[in-house]
């Protein structure tokens, strides 16, 4: 392949045209060419020459800008389902080959960082925060390439590249939002909760938390699990792809998804092959009612 990768792939080279490829109405032929190019480069990632990486940099920069602005997502809703875009993860991973680590700008008395991606707020001024309507408490860390919707509140927490956090959501103290995780609008991610990422292990799909979900303190959602709209996870619920989700009312067992409105707590169930052993399970104890909503209602005062 030619070392002038973008030109060879029939992809525009100027910044404005590249940005348009990640907008709401891209040229479908050029977008398909970009995705094919990224797929090829990702397969050859261990053998790329320096000039190939250099010619890829404008495309990587445009993709990261689009992720940062919420125009490009690792997954997006389509007719009530979710479509996962593996192109996004591949583009982020290729950025680690095209970018050099650098010392990030830091205010006096704050820790320095040395990373291939800058921090999201490094060059923001008061007007940027006001226009975005994002509130950032000291100690919150967000990498460039993560999107934050209007009204998002960040307590001391961490949001990784490629994540999407919907409007009005709070990420509480010591919570983490992993790479490419998709968090809906008006969610509460409680203190110490972890939302898993996808960059490592490389084959993971993004975790998806739909609108209006409450994640209890010290809970963990990983391995591409999907938590549907309005669900409530109690404190200390751990969810992975292989975690059995048991409906207490019916005894039904499912994996990888929490139904809409379900209220889930940590529990156990007997191992079918060794009944004397109880293994971990997430248990649906009921579906959210007015009492549940009263206990998990969001406080708009902290979002004002």
The catalytic site residues sit at 172, 197, 220
Handedness of CA 110, 194, 167, 214 (dihedral sign): negative
Only one residue has tokens 């709209």, namely 229
Give the pairing type, strands 238-239 and 220-221. parallel
> In 39-89, which ranges are E strands?
75-78, 81-84
Which secondary structure element, helix H or strand E, spans residue 68, and what is its range? helix 50-69
Helix (H, G, I), strand (E, B) or coil at 221: strand
Tokens of 173: 């103290």
CA 30 to chain centre: 26
Task: Specify which residues 183 forms β-bridges with.
Answer: 165, 209
- Eight-class DSSP state of 116: S
**How far is 302 from 138, CA to CA, in rounded Å?**
15
**How far is 17 from 37, CA to CA, in rounded Å?**
17
């Amino acid at each position: 392949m030619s070392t002038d990768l973008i030109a060879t792939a029939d992809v525009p080279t100027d910044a404005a045209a590249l940005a348009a490829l990640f907008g709401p109405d891209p040229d479908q032929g050029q977008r398909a060419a970009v995705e094919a190019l990224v797929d090829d480069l990702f397969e050859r990632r261990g053998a790329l020459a320096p000039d190939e990486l250099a010619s890829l940099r404008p495309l990587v920069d445009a993709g990261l800008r689009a992720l940062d602005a919420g125009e490009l997502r690792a997954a997006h809703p389509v007719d009530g389902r979710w479509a996962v875009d593996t192109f996004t993860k591949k583009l982020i991973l290729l950025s680690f080959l095209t970018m050099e680590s650098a010392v990030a700008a830091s205010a006096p008395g704050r820790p320095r960082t040395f990373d291939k991606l800058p921090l999201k707020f490094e060059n923001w001024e008061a007007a940027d925060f006001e226009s975005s309507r994002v509130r950032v408490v000291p100690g919150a860390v967000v990498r460039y390439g993560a999107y934050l919707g209007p009204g998002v509140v960040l307590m001391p927490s961490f949001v990784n590249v490629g994540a999407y956090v919907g409007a009005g959501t709070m990420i509480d103290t010591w919570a983490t939002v992993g790479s490419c995780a998709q968090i809906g609008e008006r969610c509460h991610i409680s203190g110490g909760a972890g939302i898993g990422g996808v960059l490592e292990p490389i084959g993971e799909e993004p975790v998806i938390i739909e609108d209006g979900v409450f994640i209890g303190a010290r809970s963990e959602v990983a391995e591409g699990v999907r938590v549907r709209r309005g669900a409530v996870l109690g404190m200390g619920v751990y969810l992975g792809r292989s975690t059995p989700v048991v409906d207490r009312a019916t005894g039904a067992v499912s994996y990888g998804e929490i139904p809409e409105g379900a209220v889930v707590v940590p529990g156990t169930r007997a191992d079918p092959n060794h009944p004397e052993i109880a293994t971990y399970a997430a248990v649906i104890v009921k579906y959210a009612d007015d009492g549940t909503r009263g206990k998990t209602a969001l406080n708009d005062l902290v979002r004002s």
